[in-house]
Homo-oligomer: A and B are copies of this chain.
C-alpha cells in the first residue's frame, strides 16, 4: 500500500515533466505550462475517478497532488535548458508514466472488486488519458493513436499483472515486474519501430 503511494507520486512527477516539455515545445507561458503539466499528470486519474464515481476527485482535498505537479514543473522548467532535446525527454518520461499509472489504475480497480478486464481498462485510462487530453489541448495528434505500441503496452502489462497475481506472486514484485514490462516494452517498441501484425494486409495487395 505504501509502495502504491510512492508509485503514484512518481507517476505524477514524470507525467508533469512530460507535460512541461510538450507545453514548452508550443511556447506556452508559465501558467499555461503549469496547467498542461497538471492536466497531463492528473487528467487520467481524474477521468478514472469520475467514471467510478469517486467524487470530488482526490486532488481537490489532497493538495499534495498539486504540490508535486508544481515542484516537478519548476524543476523541469529549470533543467529544460540543460536537457535540450524536448522530444526524446518527453518520450522517456511518458513511458515511465504509463508504466507507473497502469499499475495504480489496476490496483484501484482491484480495491473496488471489478473484473480483471475492467481493472486493465482502468489502468489503461489512468495511464493514457492524461497524455491524450494534453495532446488534444495542444492540438497534437494524440500519441496513443499514432500507430505506436502505446495503449498496447498498458493492456499487455495489465495481463502480465494478473498472470503474476494468479501465480501467487508477492504484490510488490508483481507491481515492479509489470511496471518494468510496460516501460521496456514501450521504449524498445519505439526504438525498433515495432508494430503489431498488420490487419491491413489484403487492402495493401
Q: Which A residues fall within an 8 A CB radius of B?
A: 24, 26-33, 35-36, 46, 50-53, 55-57, 59-61, 63, 66, 77, 81, 112, 114-115, 117-118, 121, 124, 132, 136-139, 141-142, 144-145, 147, 149, 151-152, 155, 195-200, 202-203
Contact = CB atoms under 8 A, between A and B. Distances in A.
A197 B77 CA distance: 14
Contact of A24 (B63, B117, B121, B199): B199
A204 to B, nearest CB: 10
Among A24, A30, A59, A139, residue most surrounded by chain B Cβ atoms (within 10 Å): A139
A35 to B, nearest CB: 6
A56 B55 CA distance: 11
Contact of A152 (B31, B36, B195, B202): B31
Contacts of A24: 199-200
